[in-house]
A and B are shown apart, each in its own frame.
Chain A
Amino acid sequence: MPRTLKAFARVYRWSQWADRRFTPAGIGVVYLMIAAGVFGIDAGRTMGFQVFSIAAALLVIAWIGAGRWRPALQIERRLPDHATVGVPLTYRLLIRSQSPRATPRLVVRDEFEDRFPTREEFAAAGRRSDPSGNFFDRRVGYPRWVAMVRRLRGGVIDPVTTAALSASGEGVVDIGFVPERRGVVRLACTRVLRPDPLGLINAVATLVRPQSLLVLPKLYDVPAIELPGSRRHHPGGLQAAQQVGESQEFLQLRDYRPGDPIRRLHWPSTARAGRPIVKETSEEFFARYGLVLDTFIVNDDEVAFEAAVSAAASLAARLTLGDALLDLMFVEDRALTVTAGRGIASAHALLRELAEVAPCRDRPFDVLATRVGEHGSRMSACIHVLLAFDAPRRAMVHALQVAGVPQIVLVVGNADVADAGVPLHRIAPDRLAETLAAMPTRCR
């Protein structure tokens, strides 16, 4: 397998190189040369050798004509803050000519950093691959490997032709692509292509300018969800609600009563009055919702995992309301809770977290269940996005149910969802939009 993967990488790099070096016309001439070479291998039987000679000679001269080229250009890439999977993204390249002469139209290719799948990733993709796929893919796997490389890259950027630049002039080209995966995508370099006089082979100049772009998960429409959970008492107010410490919302000063913490003493007033005076802060009541994302991947099903992330992101974008808090809980190398709402953070913060969430393979599910249990008493309602509905997950849901927290459970995949006792909805990864749109809108 490693040897096969190395061979794939070699073939892939070669094909990328050929794609850069040959213009479409040049590729046509290469095909013509190959066809004429095959059919004309017997110079006594056909005249294919003459067609071959012309095609080969054109390529040789074009190669010489392309030569080495160092363009006097400066390119600056202007990326947006983030992008979203499936939403076309356009950004700009600012090109400055430093040449005293006019620069003709050039082809610009902005390229992603290539990351090749590991042996384990490739094997897992093989297990997931469609058994009705084409024979070559099943036996050899190169198309599957290329699809994985493309996915890891994050998209496909088509080459763009610039306008001609005047001497020391500036130009702008808009580059567009559709992000195909969430997370950080890395743009490695910009290549500028100039065809030879015959128009067959490009001279290629590489301007290295690595940059990263965060791609948020793909979002889908979810229905408006009624979260009936009552407002809960959050002693200490908003500040205390999401971290250690007391609210600074001042309510009144009053005499010390036994049991008041010493830290609540208001020393200036105590000094003035000559008796202990404590500062009383407001106690707040507001709704706080939980959004639980199950990152414990089942059967290496990354498609289901991605669907779960997208579902969670769609819910996070929908649920973050001004007067409520939303706790996103998930586990990576440890249990994490990210809170948004009420001015603490926007839904965008949750989406950024979800953009980079990775499956958890080396922790028990209890880590998540414990974290959810800790927050259970403060939650007004909770929505779970689960990858299965086995005993540990049932137990987590049941515990919240016992605590009186209304819930909605979304299970991605084909798990057995009967007899859950809560509104439970199955999400099909291949019909995500449709099944998300049909999800329950009331917690129970």
Chain B
Amino acid sequence: MPVKMPPLLAAIGLAFWGWASGLLLPALVLAVVIESPRIAKARWSFDAKDFERVADLCSIAFLVLMAWQWFGSRNGPAGLIVVLTWLPFIFIAILLMQRFDVRNATPLSALFWSLRRRRVEGVPRSLPLDYPFFGLCLVSAACANQRSPWFFGGLLLLAGYALYPLRAEGRRLGVWGLALGCALALAYGMQVGILRAQEQVESFVMDYLRDRVFGRADPFRTHTAIGDVGRVKLSDRILFRVAGAKALPLKLRDGTFNVYAHDSWFAQGASFRSVPPQGTSSWVIGEGDGPALQISAWLTRGRAMLPLPPGVYRLDGLNVGRVEANAFGSVRVSEGPSLILFSARMDGARERDGAPEGADLQVPKRLEPALMQALAEAGGQGQPPTEVAANITRFFQERFAYTLKLQSADGSRRTLEHFLLDDRRGHCEYFASAATLLLRASGIPARYATGYVVEEWSPIERQFVVRARHAHAWALAWIDGRWREVDATPTGWFAAEAEAEPAWRPAADLLSWLGFSFQRWRVSGDESDEGFSTLWLLAIIPLAAWVAWRVTRRNRVRTASTVASVDAVSGASPIEPLLERLEALGFRRPAATAVRPWLQSLPLPMELQPAAAAVAHGYARWRFDPASIDSSTESTLRTQAIDLAQKIEAEASNTRDDSTQRHGAALS
């Protein structure tokens, strides 16, 4: 049964895709090309293998583009979405071929390899690709991520348009309309629900991952290991690479927090604002003048809190979609590739972390007695802020010990009070939290900062490497109108953490470097995208042209010069125009009668009968002994058939005229 479809379905799908993907003009051109067979008269009789060749070419183009996006572009997996956005452009060749084919349907073997292995005799199973192509346009348009309410409205209209001819027979139009209306209303509710559900799930999952797995990526909250018992596990995985560092040790900060509660630090009132881009890959956070530091960092799902040195005012070469900064100096990026390489310019003389607020002096009530006792011991009261900070640092350096083995006497949770007053052993989070709270207790605004310490030089890579175990925490104290780092963790923590490194670390580092080098090559390859795509075009276009030439050369069956417009399936017969003319005159060949005897049995005038016999004979040769027919003979046959058709038509016209004249005479 022929598939019922609304007119211009593929063209409308293409136009919608073009609008959504910002390629409206090319899409309209393609739409015109796709619908051109309505006007153009040329037709070809492609066989299944021709379709298969073109389908294979489209598939190769698709795979090449996927590979290019994966390996050659810095977009990484996200780049695959870009290829999906181009799907109509990639696969339109098959639909175009179908439109110019006399059958106006695509053999299924072009789409399914399994059908090519088991060819069956007879007419191959085929399918008009208009509806599938329309669906492809919708999916591609969706991948273009056009965040406009018109997009959903357009989808609704298109759904109604596409489904109208498919409605069940024997049902009233109103019932169909009601069902469609219900479906579209439900669809609206569903899409709102999906969006909200995804937000909720994403929020929950990210919250969980940030707390339990990444630990440090949440700009608004950081969970500390304060209270945990047992050995804190450290990873040797290299997270960042830093080149151009002059003064060591250098601290790269990725988060600043101002509220302490329940062993966690929170950033209150530190909402992020977008940093406007300057050019394609530069982002200006503030003003300044200073040296640059080259940082390479891995991103998770294209997002990360950037580890930055203090006083950063500009980021160059940072190819991400979005950069945001908050009042505490934290910077986060999103919509980026898996690896970013950028240059961070810093000016240590400028303060960009925002002036202290009330929260920077708050101390939890339950900790006050312990803090005051420790402060008295440190000697931090009644002295200038610089002196207090120095005393507190010295207090921790001299009377506390750094350890990753956290124990409590009775197996219960460790507390900050326990750390301050009893065992005086802990890791950097204890020291940084205690120092921050002690500074506050002495009246100095203070914040808790997390980040990494840059200290390990890699002779292989000839740059600094920052591992997961180099993660650190310290306090920031507002002294003399600036935020100054107060690192209370006893020196030697860096070496203590390095003690546990495994024997295979050099090999792992080498592998890591190779992986990094490969990713850097991928990312740097993006700068020559234009060259790559040109190469790709140079490779694909001749191939496409060759396939098109091979496919169309042999199969053309009709041209504008030979016949009138053809819409329906008419076959490739050279006498088709003659049969059409005869049918128009009321001589329709019965299905069970062969062409030759039928032609010879027509009630033609005597003078036309030899020509009809010649055409019938030529047709019989063309049909049953094609090897004996060359192109010139076929062309002669076609011309004879057209001549005969014109003569029959002229004869019929004369007969009608005679009849009219006689009738007119009778009337007069």
Residues in chain A within 8 A of chain B (CB atoms):
23-25, 28, 31-32, 35-36, 39-40, 42-54, 56-58, 60-62, 65, 104-105, 133-134, 143, 161, 164, 194-200
Contact = CB atoms under 8 A, between A and B. Distances in A.
Interface stretch (B152-160, B234-242, B356-364, B498-506): B152-160
Interface in B71-112: 78, 81, 84
Contact of A28 (B81, B135, B147): B135
Given A53-B194, A58-B163, A164-B170, A48 B179 contact: no
A240 B98 CA distance: 71
B182 to A, nearest CB: 5
A180 B511 CA distance: 60
Contacts of A36: 138-139, 142
B167 A46 contact: no
A45 B139 contact: no
Interface residues of B, number: 50
Nearest to B171: A197
B151, B168, B175, B194 — most chain A CB neighbours (10 Å): B168
Interface of B: 1, 3, 20, 78, 81, 84, 114, 117, 131-132, 135, 138-139, 141-147, 151-152, 155-156, 159, 163, 166-171, 175-176, 178-180, 182-188, 190-191, 194-195, 198, 202
Nearest to A52: B194
B152, B175, B180, B190 — most chain A CB neighbours (10 Å): B190
Contact of A62 (B78, B179, B187): B179
Given A32-B135, A57-B190, A45 B81 contact: yes
Contacts of B187: 50, 53-54, 56-58
B371 to A, nearest CB: 43
A46 B81 contact: yes
9 contacts: A36-B142, A43-B198, A47-B143, A48-B139, A53-B191, A54-B155, A60-B183, A104-B170, A200-B163
Contact of B167 (A35, A50, A134, A198): A198
Contacts of A28: 131-132, 135
A47 B163 contact: no
Contact of A197 (B20, B132, B167): B167
A143 B115 CA distance: 12
A134 B180 CA distance: 43
B168 A196 contact: yes
Contacts of B20: 47
B232 to A, nearest CB: 34
Contact of B191 (A49, A195, A200): A49
A198 B168 CA distance: 6
A25 B132 CA distance: 10
A159 to B, nearest CB: 10
Nearest to B145: A46
A54 B159 contact: yes
Contact of A39 (B143, B178, B179): B143
Contacts of A42: 198
A49, A50, A199, A200 — most chain B CB neighbours (10 Å): A50
Contacts of A56: 187, 190
B2 to A, nearest CB: 12
Contacts of A134: 114, 117
Nearest to B301: A42
B179 A65 contact: yes
A271 B151 CA distance: 113
A46 B184 CA distance: 20
A99 to B, nearest CB: 13
Contacts of B132: 28
A45 B183 contact: no
Nearest to A32: B135
Contact of B168 (A31, A40, A143, A197): A197
Contact of B146 (A31, A39, A47, A54): A47
A39 B81 contact: yes
B183 A35 contact: no
Contacts of A25: 131, 163, 166
A297 to B, nearest CB: 26
Contacts of A133: 117
A196 B179 contact: yes
Given A54-B183, A61-B183, 7 more contacts: A32-B138, A47-B142, A50-B142, A53-B187, A56-B190, A58-B187, A199-B167
